[in-house]
Amino acid sequence: MTELRRKTGPKIEGGVDAVIIGASVDALAAAAILARGGLHVVLIETGAGRFRERAEFAPHYYAADGDPIATALDQQTIDQLDLYRHGLAFARRRLETFVRFSDGAALVLPGDPAFAHEAIAAMSEADADRFADYAEAERKTARQFAAWFSGGAEPAIAPDLRTEKAAASIEEAVTGRFLDARIADYLRAEAALGAASRPSEPFTYLALLRRMAGDAAGLQGAVAAIEGGGRGLVQALRRAGQAAGVGIRQTDRVKSVIVEFDRVAGVEFDDGGQIRAPIIISALPARETFFDLVGRARLDIEFARVVETPSPAIASVRVNLAISGPLVDPHAAAALDRRFLYAPAPIELDRAFRLAGEGVCGAPLIAELIFPSALEAGLAPEGCATASLLLHPVALRPPGDERWRESVDAASRVAFGRIAPGSASLIEAIDIGEPEAAAPPTLAAIERREILTGASGLEGYYFCGPEALIGGPLSLAAGRRAGERALAFFKQGGFD
């Protein structure tokens, strides 16, 4: 007999104003902002971006997920959500940057970039004033661009200046500017770290301005270490969200976003259950957000083309190192609670990009090194250290590629040896992470972000996934922008 009515069935839940999909810090920020705005918000934690508890990657050596430092942290979100009250704290607010060059020389830049004069003078007295003037001027320009980088409107600056800065390559902007070529090497490494394009290609200089525009722990251009890393930030955001009444659910997968006419109407799960809501914010990657949850057939053709823009074939890779004793090099060993950077010579960098483009991982590479054990207790045995090394550029290869892993292993040892000469033999274990696709040129990334966050044409559907981020993954700006847009939509009664 046909069952006319099921006694139990999938649950359809109503009365929700907004559903946030994702587990990233931006998803949490967007959820908290909407909840503080008075909306009934449900956050569905799913997909990548969840920070796990620290994992033991070698006996007695522990590593945490993600980037241990932040170069941009949206102050407005921190203030708006009162994150300090909810437990956000910094292990170090101003990390010094220890730069090692290909000739073995070292440069220690202070935590406040405005005081770099003395450090530069110690390396090249003739360049101290030049560098100070250059850095001050570029920080000022970067300030004008800051809102644009974080998702706001394009700055109202002279079109010539905008074009000059946007179209310039790193090479043409820094080469020949200083008497000591190593200063240019440092700036080149800062700008090219995480970038998909060679420094000689146009539109690459904006990456350096983006780096200079970042505001971490209240200081422009600084580097800060959040207590607990990404997990610390997540915990503060969760507390802020829960205090505002965000309901958090955990599930493996959201099946689809329900679209009625041109508006979103809720989400559906694999068991047929639904949460009906007029606002959906997705922090999942763009392909999942639009293709998997909505479907290509409901998207404009041009918009779909932007969604499926392929990732660059160049990547960065994070490697955890177990260091079994104190560093040999006294300069590097002087303090481990710093950010270490290896700035390759132009010829080394060019070769690294060429090899990465050919699918090979060369060495030496640009390397950013942090010792999390110097910032957080209990990550390594007494007298030992854990190091988190970010290598760039490497080829974007599938995780199971053994040759690729061997070459990354070798590059890690070379990089560590360059930063701390004589200490490579102290590496006891190496834990290689997944390669992360490099960022396209900033201007292209901004254009893509503008389309993805504003042109899907689906009313009530907002996006703050990885493609909405320009710069560091912990910035929170994408989540805030999405939350604010959704809140404005709600207040206008656009869903009625």
Nearest one of 490, 464, 43, 16 to 241, comparing CA atoms:
43
Q: Quickly list DSSP for 21-68.
A: E--SHHHHHHHHHHHHTT--EEEEE-SS-PPPPPEEEETTEEE-SS-S
Q: Does position 164 bind other proteins by CB under 8 A?
A: no
Closer of 56 and 308 to other proteins (Cβ)? 308
Helix (H) or strand (E) holding 403: helix 402-419
Mask for 413-452, x = binds other proteins (CB under 8 A)? ----------------------------------------
| From candidates 300, 358, 434, 447, binder to other proteins by CB under 8 A | 300
Smallest separation, CB 382 to other proteins (Å) = 55
The alpha carbons of the chain give a radius of gyration, in whole angstroms, of 23
d(CA 93, CA 219): 9
Least separation in angstroms between CB 496 and other proteins: 14
At its nearest, how many Å lie between other proteins and the CB of residue 488? 17
| Angstrom distance (rounded) from CA 117 to CA 128 | 5
Q: Give the range of 242-250, 293-301, 403-411, 475-483 binding other proteins by CB under 8 A.
A: 293-301
305 in contact with other proteins (CB under 8 A): yes
What the block records as the tokens of 83 is: 């994150």
Q: Name which position in 134, 203, 291, 495 contacts other proteins (CB under 8 A).
A: 291
Position 298 contacts other proteins (CB under 8 A): yes
Write down the least CB distance from residue 202 to other proteins, Å: 24
Question: Which pair of tokens denotes residue 394?
Answer: 């490497």
Q: Examine residue 303 and tell whether it contacts other proteins (CB under 8 A).
A: yes
For residue 123, give the 3-state DSSP assignment.
helix
Angle at 345 between CA 339 and CA 349, to 5 degrees: 90
Please report whether residue 488 would count as binding other proteins according to CB under 8 A. Answer: no
Q: How far is the CB of 486 from other proteins (least distance, A)?
A: 18
Q: Is 126 in the site for other proteins (CB under 8 A)?
A: no
CB-based contacts of 405, cutoff 8 Å, min separation 6:
432
Name which of 134 and 291 has its Cβ closer to other proteins: 291
Least distance to other proteins, CB of residue 238, Å: 35
Q: Is 496 in the site for other proteins (CB under 8 A)?
A: no
Q: Which of 50, 255, 276, 296 binds other proteins (CB under 8 A)?
A: 296
Q: Is 106 in the site for other proteins (CB under 8 A)?
A: no
- β-bridge mates for residue 20, sequence order: 43, 281
249 binds other proteins (CB under 8 A): no
Neighbouring residues of 104: CB distance < 8 A, sequence distance ≥ 6: 421
Q: How far is the CB of 291 from other proteins (least distance, A)?
A: 7
The correct pick among 297, 382, 383, 493 for binding other proteins (CB under 8 A) is 297
Which one among 1, 156, 158, 301 touches other proteins, defined by CB under 8 A? 301
CB of 387 to other proteins, least distance (A): 42
Residue 304 makes contact with other proteins by CB under 8 A: yes
Given a contact cutoff of 8 angstroms between Cβ atoms, the answer to whether 266 and 44 are in contact is no
Give the position of tokens 């070769």.
351
Q: Helices marked H in 245-309 — which ranges?
A: 286, 301-307
Cβ count near 39 (within 10 Å):
24
Sort 159 into a burial class: Cβ within 10 Å, 0-12 / 13-18 / 19+: exposed
The residue among 308 and 434 lying less far from other proteins, judged by its C-beta, is 308
260 interacts with other proteins by CB under 8 A: no
Peptide bond into 398 cis (omega under 30): no
CB of 305 to other proteins, least distance (A): 5
Residue 334 as a binder of other proteins (CB under 8 A): the answer is no
Q: Which residues bind other proteins (CB under 8 A)?
A: 262, 291, 296-298, 300-305, 308, 455, 457-458
